[in-house]
Amino acid sequence: MSSKINHHHQNDKTNGQIFPQPCPHLADFHARNGTKPFRAIQDCLHIKPPGGRAAIRRDSSEVPRCGVCGDSSCPRLYACMACAAVSCHVPPHSSHVAIHATKTSSACSHEIAVDVDRAELFCCACRDQVYDRDFDAAVVLAHTTSIIQSSKPENLRKRRRIDYRPWSPDLRERSLMVNNASPIDSMSSSNGDLPRGLRGLNNLGNTCFMNSVLQALFHTPPLRNYFLSDRHNRYYCQSKNGVRLCLACDLDTMFSAIFCGDRMPYSPAKFLYSWWRHASNLASYEQQDAHEFFISMLDGIHEKVEKDQHKPRRNGDCCIAHRVFSGILRSDVMCMACGFTSTTFDPCVDFSLDLEPNQGSSMKTSSTKTNHSCNCEADGMNSSQNCGISTLMGCLDRFTRPERLGSDQKFFCQQCQVRQESLKQMSIRKLPLVSCFHIKRFEHSSVRKMSRKVDRYLQFPLSLDMAPYLSSSILRSRFGNRFFPFDGDESNTLNEPSSEFELFAVVTHTGKLDAGHYVTYLRLSNKWYKCDDAWITEVNENTVRAAQGYMMFYVQKMLYYKASEKQGTS
Amino acid sequence: MRNSVNRPPTPDAVEDQEKEPTLQEIINIKMIESGEKEKLMELLRERLVECGWKDEMKALCRAYIKKKGTNNVTVDDLVHVITPKGRASIPDSIKTELLLRIRAFLASAAL
Q: Which range has highest mean pLDDT (A54-63, A184-193, A350-359, A534-543)?
A: A534-543
State the nearest Cα–Cα gap between B52 and chain A, in angstroms. 7
- C-alpha A482: how far from its chain's center? 21
Least confident of A52-61, A157-166, A394-403, B17-26: A157-166
Whether residue B3 contacts residue B10, with contact meaning beta carbons closer than 8 Å, is answered with: no
> What secondary structure does DSSP assign to A11-23, as a single string?
EEEETTEEEEPPP
How far, in Å, CA of A252 to CA of A256, rounded?
6
pLDDT at A184 (0 to 100): 61
The pTM for the full model equals 0.65
Q: Which helix (H) or strand (E) holds A328?
A: strand A327-335
How far, in Å, CA of A371 to CA of A368, rounded?
10
pLDDT at A463 (0 to 100): 93
Task: Name which residue leads in pLDDT, A504 or B52.
Answer: A504
Interface probe, candidates A4, A365, A424, chain B, greatest B C-beta count within 10 A: A4
Average pLDDT estimate for A195-203: 90
Q: Give percent of chain A above pLDDT 70.
A: 76
Question: Least CB-CB distance to B33: which of A61, A91, A381?
Answer: A61
pLDDT at A483 (0 to 100): 64
Q: Give percent of chain A above pLDDT 90.
A: 27
pLDDT at A9 (0 to 100): 42
pLDDT band for A167, please (50, 70, 90 cuts): confident
Residue A517 designated active-site: yes
pLDDT at A378 (0 to 100): 38
* Mean pLDDT (chain A, rounded): 77
Average pLDDT estimate for A114-122: 86
**Per-residue pLDDT for B14 more than 90?**
no
Average pLDDT estimate for A408-435: 87
pLDDT at B1 (0 to 100): 47
Domains, chain B, with CATH or none: 24-51+92-111 (no CATH), 53-90 (1.10.246.140)
How far, in Å, CA of A86 to CA of A88, rounded?
7
pLDDT at A416 (0 to 100): 82
**Per-residue pLDDT for A399 more than 80?**
yes
pLDDT band for A562, please (50, 70, 90 cuts): low
pLDDT at B6 (0 to 100): 57
Please, which residues 52-81 of chain A have a Cβ atom closer than 8 Å to chain B? 60-61, 63, 70, 72-73
Secondary structure, 3-state, B6-28:
CCCCCHHHHHHHHCCCCHHHHHH
Whether residue A531 contacts residue A212, with contact meaning beta carbons closer than 8 Å, is answered with: yes
Task: Name which residue leads in pLDDT, A102 or B41.
Answer: B41
How far, in Å, CA of A531 to CA of A537, rounded?
7
Collect all residues of chain B within an 8 Å Cβ-Cβ radius of residue A125: none
pLDDT at A348 (0 to 100): 92
Task: Name which residue leads in pLDDT, A144 or A501.
Answer: A501
pLDDT band for A306, please (50, 70, 90 cuts): low
Least confident of A326-330, A412-416, A561-565, B28-32: A561-565
Contacts of A536 (CB under 8 A, 6+ apart): A194, A198, A199, A200, A529, A530
Collect all residues of chain A within an 8 Å Cβ-Cβ radius of residue B91: 362-363
State the nearest Cα–Cα gap between B8 and chain A, in angstroms. 23
pLDDT at A418 (0 to 100): 85
pLDDT 10s digits, A206-265: 899 999 999 999 999 999 999 998 888 888 776 655 556 788 889 999 999 999 888 899
pLDDT 10s digits, A450-478: 788 888 899 999 999 999 999 888 887 77
Collect all residues of chain A within an 8 Å Cβ-Cβ radius of residue B75: 122, 128-129
State the nearest Cα–Cα gap between B3 and chain A, in angstroms. 31
How far, in Å, CA of A9 to CA of A20, rounded?
6
pLDDT at A435 (0 to 100): 95
pLDDT at A535 (0 to 100): 94
pLDDT band for A505, please (50, 70, 90 cuts): very high
Least confident of A23-27, A90-94, A203-207, B54-58: A90-94
**Per-residue pLDDT for A95 more than 90?**
no
Interface probe, candidates B27, B31, B32, B70, chain A, greatest A C-beta count within 10 A: B32
C-alpha distance from residue A424 to each of A204, A336, A342, A444, B37 (Å): 44, 10, 10, 24, 24
A23, A208, A249, A318: the catalytic one is A208
Q: Which helix (H) or strand (E) holds A299?
A: helix A290-309
**Per-residue pLDDT for A153 more than 60?**
no
Residue A208 designated active-site: yes
Three-class SS state of A387: helix
pLDDT at A493 (0 to 100): 46
- Interface contact A362-B51, CB threshold 8 A: yes
Task: Name which residue leads in pLDDT, A133 or A494.
Answer: A133
pLDDT at A269 (0 to 100): 93
State the nearest Cα–Cα gap between A395 and chain B, in angstroms. 12
Question: Least CB-CB distance to B91: which of A1, A362, A401?
Answer: A362
pLDDT at A385 (0 to 100): 44
Question: First-to-last CA distance in chain A?
Answer: 60
pLDDT at A469 (0 to 100): 93
Average pLDDT estimate for A544-557: 94
- Interface contact B59-A4, CB threshold 8 A: no
pLDDT at A497 (0 to 100): 59
Task: Name which residue leads in pLDDT, A483 or A386.
Answer: A483
